[in-house]
Amino acid sequence: MASVHGALLDLKRLDRLAGGDTPLHRLDPRAKVLATLVFIVCVVSFGRYELSALIPFFIFPVSLVAAGRLPAGYLAAKVALVAPFAIAVGICNPFFDRGILVHLGALDITGGWVSFASIVLRTALTVGAALTLTALTGFASICRALVRLGMPKAFAMQLLFLYRYLFVLAEEGGRASRARELRSFGRKGSGLASYASLLGHLLLRTWQRAERMHMAMLARGFTGDFPSAQGGRFGAREVVFVLFWSALFITLRLYNGAELLGTLVTVYLS
């Protein structure tokens, strides 16, 4: 519980990173959201056996991390937290898809292993792009941008509340876990039977905490709109940013960039 608590609260660093002062931070959030959406659509549209064509797409998150002066190690660690879920989704593929797809000398690689690697790679790309977007923009600004792009305001507000509720849940869970450890002597009170009561109390405490937060918001004049919503300017820089990255993603989707590069290198060396 303590490790989960620390991992969730560490996500607050993403909002702090969004306060940077680079050209990417100053871009209108809608431009960054649109480019990331095109990126995600192109990545997830690949077939299950297409692996090499995904590798050139790393240019997007890597370029944004470098230009936005973001901590690459921190973002990579957050992507690694999601890796076990991607592994759990695709781990059965090698057992059901046993057709030989690739021959590497004496080594035969089945389609199941290729599709498994494709799932992990696509997860790393999409999650990495989403985390980079959040670190450059901030989750509240992303929700405001989605509303201005046409998303229903109620749905965007629910996303924002869900994001904030994660921290409330983590904080209350950390307190409950510490209280349980302080009241346990040796192995007494630390078995699985105590978790049912712990989860019940955790639900009640977070519910009550959320109600107090909602009453405080109403007392401060909350009417269902995003706080301090400011109208950004979608200018020439934003248009160039969206068009450049969208054109690159569509080109990489239609043509295998890694294969073309390998062909050019082979022709040049020969």
Q: What's the number of domains the chain is made of?
A: 1
Indicate whether 32 belongs to any domain.
Answer: yes
Mean pLDDT, residues 20-43 taken together: 91
Indicate whether 225 belongs to any domain.
Answer: no
Indicate whether 185 belongs to any domain.
Answer: no
pLDDT of residue 241: 94
Indicate whether 51 belongs to any domain.
Answer: yes
pLDDT digits (tens, 9 = 90+) for 42-97: 999 988 888 888 888 999 999 999 999 999 888 888 888 888 888 888 888 778 87
Percentage, residues of the chain above pLDDT 90: 20
Indicate whether 226 belongs to any domain.
Answer: no
CA angle 207, 9, 173 (to 5 degrees): 40
pLDDT of residue 195: 67
Indicate whether 126 belongs to any domain.
Answer: yes
Residue 31 domain boundaries: 2-152+234-269
pLDDT of residue 143: 86
Lowest mean pLDDT among 129-138, 204-213, 220-229: 220-229
pLDDT of residue 59: 92
Residue 232 or 160, more confident: 160
Residue 4 or 127, more confident: 127
Residue at 148: amino acid letter? R
Q: Distance from CA of residue 231 to its chain's centroid? A: 25
**What tokens appear for 7 in the block?**
């991992």
Residue 226: pLDDT band (50, 70, 90) is low
pLDDT of residue 189: 55
Q: Distance from CA of residue 234 to its chain's centroid? A: 25
pLDDT of residue 256: 78
Indicate whether 87 belongs to any domain.
Answer: yes
Indicate whether 82 belongs to any domain.
Answer: yes
Residue 181: pLDDT band (50, 70, 90) is confident
